[in-house]
Structure formats: structure tokens, C-alpha cells
Chain A
Amino acid sequence: MNLFAVSISHHTAPIELREALFFGDEEIKQFVEKTKGNLFNEGLVISTCNRTEIYGIPVHKELQYSEILNSIQSIKSVNDIRPGHFKNLFSREAVTHLFEVITGIDSLLIGDNQIYHQVKDSFQLSEDLHFTGFLMKRLFDFAVKTGKRAITETEISEGAVTVSYAAVQLIEKIFSSLSKKSALVIGTGESGEIAAKHLMERGIGKLAVTNRTIDRAEKVAQKLNAKILSFTNFKEYLHEYDIIISATSSENLILTKDDIKTAMKKRNYANMVLMDIAIPRDIDPASKEIDYVFYNDIDSLNIIVEQNLEKRKGEIHKVKKIINEEVDNFFEWYNSLEVAPTIKDLRDYFEAVRVEEVDKNKNRFSSEDQEKLEIITKRIINKILHHPTLELRKLNQSDNNIDETAIKMSLLRDLFGIDNNKPASSNQGSEKEGKDN
């Protein structure tokens, strides 16, 4: 299969180059306009903060990787970029790489399932730009299926791998339902905002924020539909909150052990979780000595993150096994795009149409005429298919490139919608998967 792929990612290039080569939607559009019909018949561009990848079925099988790099540089002129910053992949390697990307095992944060959605979005964009054809669509179906299998059949995406998610995971180990709980986020900088966002996503019942600068607090509160507490007197309301996340840049402690003790007395020692994700710390670590107070700082949350990353690494071999199976399935399907099966499918398709129409209308004819109807319609179908069948057989006999033949077969299948009406067994599954999303 003549599938070309070039990839620049955290494996091959520093962040400055990856950032410089990030393709926005508009730039992808320019790239597609430039390369479609010139370099590629069909293709896919994936661009995220960590990687930019281009997959394509070439117009000419002699396509050079340098031509692809030149096209990239014509859109994104970046200094200091060298061919060594790109990974060049071909055929099975390219398919395997796409599957590794969508399953998250090639990600910087192993098992990050955000990439699964990013690949899907990228494919949607390619489709909107009419850059996808029969082969890319099928490749995408198989990629999505592989991604789903990795998520459901392994634990590659399980467990928190960022500090703010680890905080949420820990909170969920204490409380059964966040919808009945209240949380206060002290400090609405980047970390505080992310933590507040995670809590909202997990359905926290009541969210309040407080910040030394009220403007910033207002901005975050508005975004997350949270209540604002004044930074000068928020301690008076501490007892009303089950979860307190602190992420300020203060040099001194914001909450002392006595503050927590007072709040705990007021709330009759109902469980309280303190998450101190600030450096230096905002909450007195001695607070953990108080009964029913669960105190955690960055170090303890990092223990969870490290453990989960290790667990995910341990799942990679299972994901690779799934990838191998799906790559095999994909190539099995691809190899079925030969001339003989296509001729058979085409004839079966026409025959099915003929039988359906004859069955629908045969009552309009006398029993004698029904027999004639059968013969005549069969003869029509044979005549219609005679020339295409001969041409297809010629394709098989000539020294045609296998990819060109496959694309022609795929065009033919697309033209008559053969795969929609009579899908191969492997297609059925992947089409269903596609529709689920």
C-alpha cells in the first residue's frame, strides 16, 4: 500500500519546533489546497500541540519525502528545521504509527485519550475539505476501532496522570458523590482554574472561588458559574466547604492548623479534604493531624501520578497486541481490493437490484411474461456489465501499480455504493464504530 506519512513529535523535535509547525485549521486548508492532486490523492493532517503528522496516498508512487517537507515549509516557514526532525513512514509502518497515535501510546502523556478525539476532529476536517477518499475513510474506521478497543479492553487511559486530576481522584476516594458536596478554590491562577474546572466537570454541587485580585476571581467565577468569596474574610466560611483546594502564589501560609480546627468544630467533624497544590504550600501540613481532615500536597499527589503512569506503561504491550491485530485486519481488507472480488461484488450488486425490482413488479405481469421478464432483465444486466467487466479484467492483466488498481476498485465501489450495500465483514464492524461517534 502506498501510504506515506511524515511525523514531527516530541520523539523527534524540541517543543519550539513543534510549536512552530503547529497547523491551525486555516493552514491545514492551505496545505490541502496545495497538495491535493499534486502530491496526494487523499490524505489526513493531524496537528496538536505535541505533534504534526501528514498521511497521504500519493498521486505518483515515486513521491519523495522531501516533496512533502517542502510543502510543509511552504506553509510554515521555520528556521533550523532539518529532515532529521521528521519521522518518515511508509505503508504498514505508517498505518501502525497512526494506530499508535490514536491509542495514546505514542503520546507524551501515555494513554492520553485526548488524542483520540483530536484524530477524529482532524479526520472530520479532512473530510470537510474533501481530502479523504475511500482508502483514508477505511483507514480512519480501523483507527477509531483500534482506539476504542484500547480504551475498553485495556487500562491504558485509566487513573489520573496530572496533579489536578490526581486531586480529583483522591477526593472521589473519600466522597461517594460530588454532586452533594461543596468546594472552595483559593487562588484562581492557572492551577486553581484547572482544578476548579475538573471539579465542575465531575459535577461538584457547589463551587466557590476566592482570590487576592477580585478581577481574576470574577473572571473564573463567571466562566465556571461559581460563587465568589472575599479574600479578606473567606476563612469565616471555611466550615461550609467539604473540599478546599489552595493554589495561590503566596509566600506564607494562607490557612493555619487552628483555622482548620475551628472550621472542623463548626462542621461537627464531617470529612474535609484539603488539597494544597501551591508551591510554596498554602495550608499548614500539621492540619492532617486533625481527625477527618484529609490533607494532600503536591508531593503526595505526585505519588498517585507516578503510580498511574507506571500502570499505563504496563498496559502498552496489550495495546500493541490490539494494534497488530487491527493492522492485520486492515491489510486483509486492503488486499481484498483486488479485481476479481470487485467484479464479483459488482455483479452481485446489479443482480440484487435486478431481483428486487423484478420481485416488486412481477405481479403486474402474467405468469408467462414473468419468465420473460427474468430473462430480459438478466440480459440487460449482462450487457451493461459486459464492457466494464472486460476493462476490469484488463486492469488485472496489465502491469498496473497495485495501489492505483486498489484506488480504481475503491472508486468503483464508491460509485456504486457497493460497500454500503454489501460490506465486507471487516467493514461492518468499523462502520458501526464510526457511527457511534
Chain B
Amino acid sequence: MKSLIDLFNILLPLFYIVTFVIYSYDFTKGGKKFIHSKRLFLFLTLIAHAVYLILRTVYFDHPPITNVFEIFTVLAFSISFAYFILELVTDIRGTGPFIIIISILFQVISSFFIQDLTEVKTVLRNHLLGFHVFSALIGYAGISISAVYGVLYLILYKEIKLNKFGLIFNRLPNLETLETLSFYSAVIGFVLLSVAIIIGIIWLPKAFPNFSYADPKLIGTSLVWILYGAGILSKIFGKWKGKKVILLSIIGFVLAILSTTITNFLSQSFHSFY
């Protein structure tokens, strides 16, 4: 089983790259060559990734959430899986390359640095921690996708304003759709981050003796959460729309990435496990 895990670890970045190339070909060239089959490539990549995650969980006897590189592979899966569902539900097929590239990034880093840990802290085998981490990861996948659609919205907005009718204009969905996709992804991200925070507030103080409310990760996540909450409320009540909400979503995403990077690599936090 170990050799199979290692094989998947090497193959997964390649699978994502192949899927990305097919999506990109379809985006740039158009036509009907890959319009349906590209989804099959993504589906097969996701199946392979799911098998890999299950194999890791079974073989190492803990879910792959015990260090940042395990978390990255789950994040890569969550982002592409969320996109796959979004593509199925909305039938908007032109934005795949912009989302899948994020999965490639996370998966390549994970594949290079992931370690095979059989011995992990007892606390990392806890089910509540599992819920906490998975809801946080899907939440992050939501806000990542929201940010990507946000950037695409801004690019298309500018292209139309400047009367540039190139590839972006021809292939992307319309502005309202991009705004809606960005908003709903942010809402899903916000709800799941809320769940992760609630579980964290209730359970983390009991599980970690060195828990602190001044922890940089908690502060960072709370800031991200407040930012998204404010953006969503202002949009719902009609105060803000379009570019303003989109910019807020992008800032929130950048903040979330910074918070994760700082807490995991730079600062001392009870949240750092690697």
C-alpha cells in the first residue's frame, strides 16, 4: 500500500497538470473538441485524489490533516472538488483553468514535502479536530474560489470598459454571473469558517494546554471572518455591490493566505504542527 501511496503522490500533480492543460486548451482554442471530455479528466483526477487521501488515512491511521503539507493536499482536493460541483450545477465551463491552477500549486508543494508520519500527537487523532480542520479547509476552498471569480470579474469589467473584446471577453461568463459565483462561494466559505471557529472556540481550549486567544492564527482567521461577514451583510442589505464586494473578497483571501503562512512557518503558535 505504501508504494501505491508514493505512486499517487507523484502522479497527482501530473494528473492536475494534464487536466489544467486540457481546460486551458479548451479556454484558448474554443471549439467542441474537449468541451465535454475535460470534465471527465477532472472527475478522474478527483477520484485518484480521493483514493490517495483514503489510502493515506487507512495506512497511517489518521486523517491527512496533521501537518501543513497534508493539509495542502486536502486543500488542493477541496478546491477542485468544489469547482467540479459548481461546474456541474451551473454548467459554466469556462473558468476551470483559473481554479485548477490553485490546486496544482497546493498539490505540487504537498507532493514535494509531505512526510509519512505514523506517529502523531493523540490530539490530532481527535474527531472534533477532524471536523474543525475539514470545515476550515472547505471554508478556505470557498474563499479561494470566491477570490478567483473576483479577479476574473475585475479583469472582465476592465476589458468591457476599455472595449477590449479578446479571449477573456469571449470565453468568460458574464459579469453578473461572475459576481454571483464569487458571492456564493464566499458565503459557503464564510459559513464553513464559522463552523470551524465555533468548534475551535468550544474545543481547542480543552485540547491544547498552551491555547491562547492572542494566537496569531486565531487573530488572522477572526479578521478574515469579520471581513467576509461585513462584505456579505453589506451586499445582502444592498449597501455595497460589484467591485467593492469583490475587492473585499480578494483582500480576505490574501489575508487568509498570509495568516496561514505566518502561523505555520514564521510565528510560534499552538496551531503549528510541523
Chain A positions near chain B (C-beta within 8 angstroms) = 153, 155, 170, 172-177, 268-271, 288, 291-292, 294, 296, 300, 303-304, 307
CB-CB nearest in chain A for B169: A173
Q: How does the 8 Å CB contact mask read for B15-34 relative to A, with 1 for contact and 0 for none?
A: 00000000000000011100
On whether the beta carbons of B163 and A173 are closer than 8 Å, the reply is no
In this assembly, does B160 line the interface, its C-beta being within 8 Å of a C-beta of chain A?
yes
Contacts of B169 in A (CB 8 A): 173
28 contacts between A and B (CB under 8 A): A153-B32, A155-B31, A170-B160, A172-B174, A173-B160, A173-B169, A173-B175, A174-B160, A174-B174, A174-B176, A175-B175, A175-B176, A176-B174, A176-B176, A176-B180, A177-B176, A268-B241, A269-B242, A288-B161, A292-B242, A294-B160, A294-B161, A296-B163, A300-B163, A303-B163, A303-B165, A304-B165, A307-B165
- CA A155 to CA B156, docked complex, whole Å: 23
What's the dominant secondary structure at chain A's contact region?
A: loop
Contacts of B156 in A (CB 8 A): 173
CB-CB nearest in chain B for A152: B32
In this assembly, does B243 line the interface, its C-beta being within 8 Å of a C-beta of chain A?
yes
CB-CB nearest in chain B for A318: B31
Besides A155-B31, A174-B174, 16 other A-B contacts (C-beta < 8 A): A155-B30, A173-B160, A173-B169, A173-B174, A174-B160, A174-B176, A175-B174, A176-B180, A268-B238, A269-B241, A271-B175, A291-B243, A292-B242, A294-B160, A300-B163, A304-B165
Q: How does the 8 Å CB contact mask read for B169-191 relative to A, with 1 for contact and 0 for none?
A: 10001111100100000000000
CB-CB nearest in chain B for A176: B176
A115 → chain B, closest Cβ, in Å? 22
- CA A300 to CA B165, docked complex, whole Å: 9
Interface residues of B in 26-69 (CB under 8 A from A): 30-32
Interface residues of B in 194-239 (CB under 8 A from A): 238
A376 → chain B, closest Cβ, in Å? 58
Contacts of B160 in A (CB 8 A): 170, 173-174, 294
CB-CB nearest in chain A for B163: A300
Q: Which of B176, B177, B242 has the most CB of A within 10 A?
A: B176
- CA A268 to CA B241, docked complex, whole Å: 9
Contacts of B161 in A (CB 8 A): 288, 294
Interface residues of B in 131-178 (CB under 8 A from A): 156, 160-161, 163, 165, 169, 173-177
- CA A294 to CA B177, docked complex, whole Å: 16
CB-CB nearest in chain B for A289: B161
A299 → chain B, closest Cβ, in Å? 8
A199 → chain B, closest Cβ, in Å? 16
Contacts of A176 in B (CB 8 A): 173-174, 176-177, 180
How many residues of B are in contact with the other chain, CB < 8 A?
19
CB-CB nearest in chain A for B175: A174
CB-CB nearest in chain A for B173: A176
- CA A170 to CA B163, docked complex, whole Å: 10
Contacts of A172 in B (CB 8 A): 174
On whether the beta carbons of A270 and B165 are closer than 8 Å, the reply is no
CB-CB nearest in chain B for A293: B161
- CA A174 to CA B178, docked complex, whole Å: 10
B32 → chain A, closest Cβ, in Å? 7
- CA A174 to CA B177, docked complex, whole Å: 8
Given contact pairs A153-B32, A155-B30, A271 touches B163 in the complex (Cβ within 8 A):
no
Contacts of B180 in A (CB 8 A): 176
B129 → chain A, closest Cβ, in Å? 41
- CA A173 to CA B172, docked complex, whole Å: 8
- CA A303 to CA B165, docked complex, whole Å: 8
Q: Which of B32, B163, B177, B238 has the most CB of A within 10 A?
A: B163
- CA A303 to CA B162, docked complex, whole Å: 12
CB-CB nearest in chain A for B159: A173
Contacts of A175 in B (CB 8 A): 174-176
B18 → chain A, closest Cβ, in Å? 25
Given contact pairs A155-B31, A173-B160, A271 touches B165 in the complex (Cβ within 8 A):
no
Contacts of B175 in A (CB 8 A): 173-175, 271
On whether the beta carbons of B241 and A270 are closer than 8 Å, the reply is yes
- CA A177 to CA B176, docked complex, whole Å: 9
On whether the beta carbons of B176 and A271 are closer than 8 Å, the reply is yes
Q: Which of B165, B173, B174 has the most CB of A within 10 A?
A: B165
B244 → chain A, closest Cβ, in Å? 9
Q: Ordered nearest first, which 6 A-B pairs have the shortest CB separation?
A: A176-B176, A300-B163, A176-B177, A174-B175, A173-B174, A304-B165
B108 → chain A, closest Cβ, in Å? 34
B249 → chain A, closest Cβ, in Å? 17
Contacts of B165 in A (CB 8 A): 303-304, 307
- CA A276 to CA B31, docked complex, whole Å: 32
Contacts of B32 in A (CB 8 A): 153
- CA A177 to CA B174, docked complex, whole Å: 10
- CA A304 to CA B180, docked complex, whole Å: 26
Contacts of A153 in B (CB 8 A): 32
Q: How does the 8 Å CB contact mask read for B55-87 relative to A, with 1 for contact and 0 for none?
A: 000000000000000000000000000000000
Q: How does the 8 Å CB contact mask read for B238-262 relative to A, with 1 for contact and 0 for none?
A: 1001110000000000000000000
Contacts of A288 in B (CB 8 A): 161
- CA A150 to CA B168, docked complex, whole Å: 26
Contacts of B242 in A (CB 8 A): 269, 271, 292
Contacts of A292 in B (CB 8 A): 242
- CA A296 to CA B173, docked complex, whole Å: 19
B274 → chain A, closest Cβ, in Å? 43
Contacts of A271 in B (CB 8 A): 175-176, 242
Contacts of A170 in B (CB 8 A): 160
- CA A189 to CA B209, docked complex, whole Å: 79
